[in-house]
Each structure stands twice: as structure tokens, then as C-alpha cells.
Structure 1
Amino acid sequence: MNGSNKLAPPNSTVQSFLQKLAETPGRRGRLVFALDATASREPTWNEARRIQAEMFDTAAAVGGLEIQLCYYRGTAEFRASPWLTRAADLRRCMAEVTCLGGFTQIGRVLEHTLWEARQSRVDALVLVGDCMEENVEALCQRAGELGLLGVRAFLFQEGQDPVAERAFTQLAKLTRGAHCRFAHDSARQLADLLNAVAAYAAGGLPALERFGRRRGGLVLQLTDQMNRRP
């Protein structure tokens, strides 16, 4: 992704769909949104941050979600925001994040999400990253625990690193979630994937399926993977 790749205005059909979700009686969805902020993400970080903030602006505006922003960077830094319900607060939190060289800390993301899910319901975990440098077996154990708690993990991989792809696919399967790769230069692909998870968190699998039929493309990969889970 580069600075010249501008995200199109939110589709009116998407806005209408999310508005209907908000008007449906029921609880808010709760979503942990985790980002890899190590140095390898720096070339695409500014564009990705803008896409993610705009997507959650739309979701927060219709009142369907509570979002917690998490990120890791450096050798041992991991941070998590409070639960946020206002788009302005989420945008402020994201604007403060810059990239710093280091290693992946996906294990800490999973541990944190487990802790949150044991305190109160969490509908989904989203992780956006491009590599994986940890013990996969240990991560799979944590992912299995998340699956038992009903937390589905959506792992969105930037690029084509084969190690990350194998690990992300396993983690998704263990939580009955989904894994998708998106291109470095595709703002639209990432925006569609994030909007899809917002729909799932707010309205469950039926809402995700409806969204997938509207958007097509990579979003259909999410619904296909989740429908194949036992």
C-alpha cells in the first residue's frame, strides 16, 4: 500500500446494512482488534491505519460495536486500549501508534484476548500482520482455548510469507475463524475484510453471510472457511 492509494467513500449499501444491524434489538458486538506495529509494517502503516480508522468510524457510528485496540512493537512492548465505543477515541488511539523494530508477539495478543474473554464476552479477535516468529505449538494451545470460549479469530495477512500463512491458518481453524491474505497495495481488500468482521461481531454469522453476498471477493473466503468448520 502507498499513500497514493485512496480509499473510496463508504458504500451506501454497506452503510445501510450496518444501520439495520444497529437498529436490531440486542447486545453490542465486542471485538479485539490487534495490529503488528513492528518495523516490517512501516511502509504500509500510515495507509493501513487510515483504512482501519475509517472502517471503525462507520461501525461505531451505527452503535453496533465495542472495540479494543491492541498492538505490539519493539522487543517487549504490548499495549491495549480500554473498550471504545466512539470512533473519535479509536482514531485518537491509532494516531498515536508508530512502528518500531522488533519481533512478533502474537502469543501476548492471544493471552490478552483470553483474559478479556474470561472477564466478559468477546465475539471476535482480528489480527493484522505480515509475519510470525514464535512457537506455533504454544500459539495453537492458546487459540484452542479461545475457541472453547467462543472467540473466533480472523487473521489477515499482508503479503505472502509462507511461515505466517501456515501459522495463521492453524490459529484460524482452532477458533473456527478464518485466515485471508491481502495484497500490499490493496486498500480496498483490507477495508472489505475489516468491514466483514464488524458485521460478524455485530450480527453473527448470518450478518457476515449477508455482507459477503453484497461485497463478494475476499469476504466470501471468510464465510466459506467458517461454514466448513465442524
Structure 2
Amino acid sequence: MPEKGRVSGDIAAFVKKVGALARPNAAQDGRLLFALDATMSRQPTWDLACSLQAEMFRAIPKQSALQVQLLYFRGFGECRASRWVIDGDALARLMGGIDCRGGNTQISKVFSHARAEHTKQRINAVIYVGDAMEENVDLLSEQAGQLGLLGLPIFVFQEGRDAAVEAAFRGFAKLSKGAYARFDASAPQELAALLKAVAVYASGGRKMLKLQDSNQAKTLLAQLPP
């Protein structure tokens, strides 16, 4: 029971942090980098993310647009980014062709790619979903801080309860001026709520979230500061 309460508290704190962030430039499409650990341990969560990713697009009002790029790492040094897409079907096709493979984490490549893409054209938010961290935490923290200085927040979602991973992930989120939340893969609505919250932020911030008419969006909005 205490663990369940902790998860709920993390999600509530995450949603509150999203509402407090500065609104991105609404004059152009929101851009969201969706990065996932695709090493072997992640297959169940990869399948879950595949089933939920369309929720990000459905959460966006029709008068707005969201561009999403998929980034994943797996195997021996493999780290790939997709083209930018603007609909859930296209992202689903991209994700559906990828299987998880054994290997170590490559979070540094995720942060480096995010910075490179952001310097070409503004990215409003980075989502990172993972359960492990096998790299130099100090170097990753420096990279996360650099993204924060560039105005690119990282929203880190952790599966599992590894305390060392949690400390690192919380640090990356804080340094980038983003947010952290843990989720339980057996409760998919938690991850769905988090993905939708960041998608709405990336496309227009708290004001955009107010435009949502779904019960879930209203529940999220009720947790945000006025």
C-alpha cells in the first residue's frame, strides 16, 4: 500500500510541475522527442508504449499540432531516431517494427541527440522512459543541465523501484527543469496520463490543457495550480 501511494504522489507532483512550466511558442507546431530504452528488459513496456502512444495525439485539440520523433537504443551501440511524424498511426508503424534487444543503456546519446535537434529547431519537451542507468551519472547530469540551460525540459518516467536509478532520473529532470514520475506497467492508465500531460504541454502548455473536454483531462487540470 505505501508503494502505491508513492506512485500516485509522484504522478500528482509531475502533473503539477507540468502546469507550472512556461508555455511554449504557440506560433508553431509543438515538437516532442519521445525516447525509450529498448534493451531486452523493456519489451513489456515497449509493447505498452506502443498501445498508448496514440493517446498523445488524441489529447491535442484539432486547432493545434504536435510533431513527435521516436528515439530508441538497444543492442550493441544501436541508437536510432525516426523522422518527425504528426499522427499516431505513423508513430505506431514506426514502433511496431522495432523489437527489444539486449544491451546497456545509452542515455548519453539520447541527451546529445536532443541537444543537436534542439539547435536546429526548438523542441518543447523530451520524454524519456526507462528502468536502468548504466552510465556515468556525473556526465549525464552535466548533459541534462546543458539541456536545461537551452530551455529543453526532460520528463523522465521510471519503471521499477531501483533507488539508484530513481536518484539519477530525478536529478536529470531537475537539472533540465523538467519533471520525474514513476509508473507501474500493470496500471497502464498511469503512463497514458503522463504521456498525454506532456503532449499537451508541448503543444501549448497549461492553457491548452484547459481546452480538453475529456474526464481524464479535467482530472489532470484539477491538480494544476490556478
* Shared fold per TM-score greater than 0.5: yes
Amino acid at match of 1:91: A
**Aligned position for 1:56:** 56
* Aligned match of 1:87: 88
The alignment's C-alpha RMSD in Å is: 2.5
Deviation at 1:213, TM superposition (A): 7.3
Taking the TM superposition and a 5 Å limit, the aligned residue runs for 1:134-149 are 134-149=135-150
Q: CA deviation at 1:86?
A: 2.7
Residues 155-164 or 199-208, more deviating: 199-208
Aligned position for 1:115: 116
CA contact (8 A) 2:73 2:80 kept: yes
Length-normalised TM-score, structure 2: 0.79
Aligned length: 197
Change over 3 Å in CA distance of 1:187–1:135 after alignment to 2:
same
Match of 2:205 in 1: 204
Contiguous gaps of at least 5 residues in structure 2: 1-25
Residue 215 of structure 1: CA displacement?
2.5
SS of alignment partner, residue 174 of structure 2: helix
- Is contact 1:125-1:151 (8 Å) kept? yes
Partner residue, 2:218: 214
Q: How far, CA to CA, are the matches of 2:76 and 2:210 in structure 1?
A: 39
Aligned to 2:179: 178
CA distance in 2, matches of 1:207, 1:160: 32
Q: Percent identity?
A: 44
Aligned counterpart, 1:75? 76
Q: Which amino acid aligns with 2:126?
A: L
CA distance in 2, matches of 1:59, 1:205: 13
Q: What secondary structure sits across from 2:126 in the alignment?
A: strand
Structure 2: distance between partners of 1:136 and 1:146: 15
Q: What amino acid is the match of 1:137?
A: D
The amino acid that maps onto 2:58 is: T
Q: How far is 1:125 from its partner? A: 0.3
Gaps of 5+ in 1: 1-24, 225-230
Give, in whole Å, the separation in 1 of the partners of 2:171 and 2:165.
10
Report the CA distance between 1:208 and its aligned residue. Answer: 5.3
